[in-house]
Amino acid sequence: DPGTPPAKREWPSLDVGTEIYVSEEGEVAEWILSDFDVIVPRPKRRHSLKHRF
């Protein structure tokens, strides 16, 4: 939304099991990723600093 701060994004890498080695010839690798779960952890709860006596 206009006027709001940008969202923080973290994009860790995904290991899809493909290795491409550098060579003198042009190499092509192609694969399709499907049927995987995206896990979004819940935010950590903040503990109140108020103490009851």
User: Model-level pTM?
Assistant: 0.24
CA distance between the termini of the chain: 45
Which of 22, 20, 41 minimizes the C-alpha distance to 30?
20
Q: Say if CB 16 and CB 33 are below 8 A apart.
A: yes
Report pLDDT for 49: 62
Residues 1-39 pLDDT 10s? 788 888 887 777 777 777 777 778 877 777 777 787 778
Tell me which DSSP letter residue 3 carries: T
